[in-house]
Structure 1
């Protein structure tokens, strides 16, 4: 008998919080006016999409009115953005990538269910699953390239498995999962298991063997693509993101979304940002140039790092990761230790512009030498 993966929504059984990186305002107070570069949260160093900002400006005089009751206008825009290969009913919207993950897990998990993650990985996958009473199975990534352990994942699937999470590019390591590994995994998944494909950094990918989630969704596979406007589009402060899947899965998840969930400014900014090709191209070009600059300097310093397909570079210094974080703060640089993501001893650093990157590397040299 086929296993029914759809169910009624449950209230949370426990409360577990995801704690993000330090806030810039709080850190700035400690530095007494010293220049501060926030390279800890993978925000866009160029700021926000100008088209999104203009949309916000055009909308501020409407804040006394409720936003759209539904997210249909944004879903229509996304369908156009994907050249009609996905229809509006295949999208669902929520308040950023982290909220999308919680929404997906709320839809499909209940006590006794299981999810599979592959550490190093974004910690909310596990935190939110435990909140819903599910068991977390970790099948770690393999080797220095952090390859997906496809055979290990497939061997760990049972009747209670509901979701498998992959991050591509990986957060926190910046590496990517090649298409052949994902093909093998997806082609062998049973019908009651859904692959959640977190691709919030996909704009920065330049690897020739990379693949987007929508390639599998178009084939009708049980795959959910998770995307955010926080990174490349520079809208982290507005908290908006979107997912897409087969129409059956997307409609089911969308049932959990409440009316008026997306605020007016976020909705208008996201719609406008999708048209800002110039800003995305500028963002990606800067990232591509600056990561090469940083690679060369890290090589000169002899610090271990991983080449990235995202907008950050993770390093593994010889000194303690928390000691490095604190020492960098004193130099006006915010970075993020990622031991809680399953990468002990490693520190994730956002790729900035030349000014920010030069300051970061100068501070790093001072501390480690």
Structure 2
């Protein structure tokens, strides 16, 4: 006799799921959390003020739509896009889920490039799609454009690109993107994850904006978690062409964003001083850690994000456990397709110094504190 499992979707059988970075254990001594790429300065003060003001209105339903936040985004983008080209959601991850829900069905294929953000493949399987991995090329983690173009077939619906890329910190140069968009079929959606774009300062770095303006089938995914310090509030957005945005808006739920998220997002976008301080802190920390890694002979990859990927001097779990004993939390990234590597977020001056001191002790005395 059949039971309830007989109607379970075959592609939703138990398998590895995405696991976020660990939180600091309660009751522990001072821990420098450099494991989740969070804002080292905390949260935008203007966002906090907006949150506190909204607390008196929690018994009311929020806005039915995200239009006020979209209008604030238009101003943030210097009116280079219209409000109708933005869509907001509960985190960048939720935006990814919305895109897959809208474009992918059972039997379709999506292309991604490991090492990368695990939800690209995990979320795709939720809808019965087949993730196709075209890995970044060794040893520099560069995009394999020819490999991606060769992998595109009649079942391909989405190609995921990320710049700067998590966990490698690498980016896709403008010339590479120009050539890619010229060749990618117009009936394939390019999902361009640019949540770390504020930290990129390479001369040939480019976000998705010019490609959206030229009408390519691209959706740029962004988050308020990194630059604005609102990881706990879960706010994300994307921008795209008018045609794609109109299509996506059909599956947006009413009252989707909590009132606190709407107000915090609008407040954060107005806090340009906080954004500038955050970027300066990351760039300064990036330079400090590059010099320290070189001095300590630790293999690292140049980064355009607010984090580094390194080849640790010990096995990854032994290394992360040893650093934790020294009061520094970092993250192994085998789950992201980078076996043996460890990702280290750029923190405050104090956190970065604590990391370097811990590394010096480990390398000089061994793994025990």
Q: Fold-level match, TM-score > 0.5?
A: yes
Aligned residues: 354
Query: What is aligned with 2:169?
Result: 174
- Residue 283 (structure 2) aligns with: 288
What's the counterpart of residue 60 of structure 1? 55
Q: Residues 217 and 241 of structure 2 are in contact (CA less than 8 Å); yes or no, is this contact kept in structure 1?
A: yes
Deviation, structure 1 residue 13:
5.2
Aligned residue in 2 for 1:18:
18
Aligned equivalents of 1:120, 1:65: Cα separation in 2: 43
Q: Give the superposition deviation at 1:268.
A: 0.4
TM-score by length of 1: 0.93
C-alpha RMSD over aligned residues: 1.4
Residue from 314, 317, 338 that aligns with 2:312: 317
Q: Which ranges of 4 or more aligned residues in structure 1 deviate by more than 3 Å?
A: none
Aligned residue for 2:330? Answer: 335
Q: Is the 1:217–1:224 Cα contact (8 Å) retained in structure 2?
A: yes
1:144 to partner: Cα distance: 2.8
Give the Cα–Cα distance (whole angstroms) in 2 for the partners of residues 40 and 87 of structure 1: 36
Structure 1: runs of 5+ lacking an equivalent: 1-10
- Per the alignment, residue 242 of structure 2 pairs with 247
Distance 1:285 1:159 in 2: 45
Q: How far does the alpha carbon of each residue in 1:87-124 deviate from its partner, in whole angstroms, 9 at most, with x for none? A: 11111111111111111111111111101101111000
Q: Deviations over 1:179-215 (max 9, x none)?
A: 1111111111112101100000000000000111111
Say if 2:320 and 2:332, in contact at 8 Å, map to a contact too. yes
Choose which of 190, 212, 218 in structure 1 pairs with 2:185. 190
Q: Is the 8 A contact 1:12 1:132 kept in 2?
A: no
Pairs within 5 Å for 1:74-93: 74-93=69-88
Matches within 5 A, 1:122-133: 122-133=117-128
Which of 82, 95, 106 is the equivalent residue of 1:111?
Answer: 106
Contact 1:117 1:125 in 2 (8 A): yes
- What is residue 64 of structure 2 aligned with on the other side? 69
Output the CA distance in 1 between the equivalents of 2:177 and 2:46: 35
Task: Supply the distance in 1 between the matched residues of 2:18 and 2:257 (Cα, whole angstroms).
Answer: 21
- Secondary structure (helix, strand or coil) at the match of 1:165 reads strand
Distance across 2 between alignment mates of 1:147 and 1:314: 14
Counterpart contact for 1:12–1:131, Cα < 8 Å = no
Which of 140, 144, 162 matches 1:145? 140
**C-alpha separation in 2, matches of 1:83 and 1:366:** 48
Q: Greater CA deviation, 138-147 or 188-197?
A: 138-147
For 1:203-262, what per-residue CA distance to the aligned partner results, in whole angstroms no more than 9, with x for missing partners? 000000011111100000001100000001000010001001111111222222211110
1:18 match: secondary structure:
coil
Indicate yes or no: 2:201 matched with 1:206: yes
Q: Pick closer, same or farther for the CA change 1:141–1:299 going to 2, 3 Å.
A: same
Hey, what does 1:364 align to over in structure 2? Answer: 359
Give the CA deviation at 1:307.
1.4
User: Does residue 1:278 correspond to 2:276, yes or no?
Assistant: no
The answer as to whether partners of 1:319 and 1:368 remain within 8 angstroms in 2 is no
Contact 2:37 2:346 in 1 (8 A): yes
8 Å CA contact 1:95–1:262 kept in 2: the answer is yes
Asked whether the 8 Å contact 2:186–2:216 carries over to 1, the reply is no
